[in-house]
Structure 1
Amino acid sequence: MFKINNLTYKYDKNRKALDNVTMDFEKGNIIGIIGSNGSGKSTLFNNLMGILKATEGEILYKNKRLKYDKKSLYNLRKEVGIVFQDPDKQIFYSMVYDDLAFALRNIGIDENTIRERIHKALKAVNGEDFIDRPVHSLSFGQKKRIAIASVIAMENELILLDEPTAGLDPKSTRAIVDIIKSMHKKGKKIVITSHDMNLIYDICDYIYILDKGKVLSKGSVEEVFADSEKILQVGLELPWLVKINKNMKLPLFKSEEELYKYWNKNFISNQVKKLSI
């Protein structure tokens, strides 16, 4: 997968969007890249996809340096998919089926296989009812599901998700989270950017913090969020489970279920002790 060595990207002579960034995506299965607006998250994704070209440093994919010729980028994008924050940036056709078929036809997949892949992808995002609908009739959240279905249909090995839940209501957010977890269970490597720290804490196993284009911190999800000062320093909120750990001096729980189980066990134990006195 991707390894990034001392990557710098300049928009002009005096502005560095990325500054000496080093990352290794073998560190986790669902990797979170977090930071405030302008920290360089989207710029990093565009560098990984070859949309932008690094000013300094290198990007390795499967231990080979990224090349920017048409054939090399074509082969890269057969294996690495990206879902942009705004789904309208990657939906080009007026009908859902034709949009999902577009990239598959470009790589020479036969129509029977395309049909099978599209049905499978839409089923994975619970969007089978969208297949014959015009894209403009879909809600923002439904468009995001279609954008994710497009990378599922491509059978990409690695999927980059740029703010996948931004602008969604709670129901749509839960749907996207379920899709991400399902993709992970099927062996897909996922890299996600988000301002939603509860989402990052819930689904990621390794995290990088970007601040003004530099890597401020990295480590397992527990290690990174244990350093609450750095999270707050870059203008982000602590996950609610981490706030409970910090303010109530309770163990650090990874899920609501763990918290409830701990609380019920200890509450019942304390009540029994009181009754026995």
Structure 2
Amino acid sequence: MYKIENLSFKYEKDKYALKDINMDFSKGDIIGVIGENGCGKSTLFMNMTGILKPNSGEIRYNDEKIKYGKKDLYNLRKKVGIVFQDPEKQIFYSKVYDDIAFTMRNIGMNEEDIKKRVEKALEAVNGSEFIDKPVQFLSYGQKKRVAIASVIAMQNETVLLDEPTSGLDPRSTDAVVDIIKNMKKNGTKVVISSHDMDLIYEICDYVYVMNKGEIIKAGNPDDVFMDEKMIKNAGLKTPWIIKIYNELKNNELKNGETKEETNLKTIKTKFAQYK
């Protein structure tokens, strides 16, 4: 898994896009990276996959420092997959099957194994009916699922998802959430960048908050999102379940109707029962 130490990166000579970043992705199975637009999330992901090279610091994967030779990056990308925010940026072929098969063909896999992996990957994203469809006939949400299927087919150890639910309707969002949860069940480490704080709170077990290229908070979702001032300063919204908790807590403190303050665990239980 990834470990990042004192990472800094500049697009411009005197302006940091990332500054002194330290992260340990072994702290959870689904890691959230959050922050407003321009905070450095996508730049971080491109550094993690070797698309960009840091100005200082280092990135380690499975305790080995990332190297930038062609063969080294090739081996890294067999272990780490990335799904960009815009699926159009990683869908190159006119038919779904050929697009998902592309990377596997590129590394010399035989067609029989490729076919099995494509079918299994599409099944994982509930998209088996797309297999022979032209990509241009798919909806935006369906294209996102195909992009994720391309990564699943590679059987990566780690998957980076950049805004996986951006632009999706509620049904498509639910489908992507199920896909992410199944990745975790199958032993894949997932790192998610998102503006959807309810999604991050629901599925992540560790969260990093970025602001202006720096990490300003890290911890489990409860610890992070209970820091309302920090969340506001980072340009983010509080998940609705935390808002409810705070409202109930404040109401009880005012009217004294109960002897014990309703805690977050109780609200989570009630929410799970409701769902």
TM range (shorter): over 0.9
- TM superposition shift of 1:225: 1.1
The match for 2:126 is 126
- TM superposition shift of 1:151: 0.6
Contact 2:245 2:267 survives alignment (8 Å): no
TM-score of the superposed pair, with normalisation by structure 1: 0.92
Distance in 2 separating the partners of 1:87 and 1:71 = 26
The match for 2:230 is 230
Distance in 2 separating the partners of 1:47 and 1:157 = 17
Look up the SS of the partner of 1:160 in the other structure.
strand
State whether structure 2 residue 265 is matched by structure 1 residue 258. no
- TM superposition shift of 1:154: 0.2
TM-score of the superposed pair, with normalisation by structure 2: 0.93
User: After superposition, where does 1:76-225 map in structure 2 within 5 Å?
Assistant: 76-225=76-225
- TM superposition shift of 1:259: 3.4
Instruction: Map Cα deviations across residues 195-218 of structure 1 (whole Å, 9 max, x no partner).
Output: 000000000000000000000000
Distance in 2 separating the partners of 1:88 and 1:53 = 24
Instruction: Map Cα deviations across residues 20-66 of structure 1 (whole Å, 9 max, x no partner).
Output: 00000001110000000000000000000000000110001111111
Distance in 1 separating the partners of 2:247 and 2:229 = 14
The match for 2:23 is 23
How many residues align structurally?
Answer: 262
User: After superposition, where does 1:4-19 map in structure 2 within 5 Å?
Assistant: 4-19=4-19
Distance in 2 separating the partners of 1:142 and 1:30 = 23
Distance in 1 separating the partners of 2:15 and 2:70 = 28
The match for 1:240 is 240
The code of the aligned residue for 1:251 comes to N
Distance in 1 separating the partners of 2:17 and 2:11 = 7
Contact 1:201 1:254 survives alignment (8 Å): no
CA RMSD across the alignment = 1.4
Distance in 1 separating the partners of 2:80 and 2:272 = 38
Instruction: Map Cα deviations across residues 193-250 of structure 1 (whole Å, 9 max, x no partner).
Output: 0000000000000000000000000011111112111111111110000001111113
- TM superposition shift of 1:255: 7.4
- TM superposition shift of 1:15: 1.2
Q: Unaligned stretches of 5+ in structure 2?
A: 250-261
